[in-house]
Amino acid sequence: FAYSRHKAAVEALLAQARRRHPELGQLVLRPGTILGADTDNQITALFTGRVVMTLAGTDGPFTFIWDNDVADIVVAGVLGRRTGVYNLAGDGVMTLRDIAAVEGARVVTVPATVVRTALATMKRLGVGRYGPEQVEFLLHRPVLDNTRLRRDFPGLPSKTTRETYEVFRQGRAERG
């Protein structure tokens, strides 16, 4: 999965820079899924329809962080000259089944191999936007521990994963 490889490569470069230049402070923020009232992207498309697809063998856990909390963390980090590595996530987890229940959507569970094959075929035929590597995104969702963030950035994040999802949901309802 290209996204994960790129993220790991950047993290390795940052760690190398910390070792070579310990006198330079680094603030590394690792966000979970960022949601706000106006968020609309390929991730939110996974759970905003009448049917939510899950992959067999995984709960599809999500840790959400409110976009305003991300902005507040960046400001506090820069102004406070903070250094370190922080996971950005609200407390708690929502699975795709949890999200489907909130949305009143039907859950359809499909084997990962079926989805991989379908995506590969659609991509090859030029009718699909995404390839089979997208399946890895759903199979291996990280659940982020925000303990260090909460300790070093008092009061942040201000919203839990579920509260963040509600902000997103309300924003979507207001947009129609």
- pTM here is 0.91
Enumerate the domain spans of the chain. Answer: 2-175
Which CATH class, in words, describes the domain spanning 2-175?
alpha beta
Structure tokens at 71: 């902005």
Using CA atoms, how far apart are residues 78 and 72, in angstroms rounded to an integer? 10
pLDDT digits (tens, 9 = 90+) for 52-108: 999 999 999 999 999 999 999 999 999 999 999 999 999 999 999 999 999 999 999
Neighbours of 27 (CB within 10 A): 16
Find residue 84's DSSP bridge partners: 27
Cα of 44 vs its chain's centroid, Å: 10
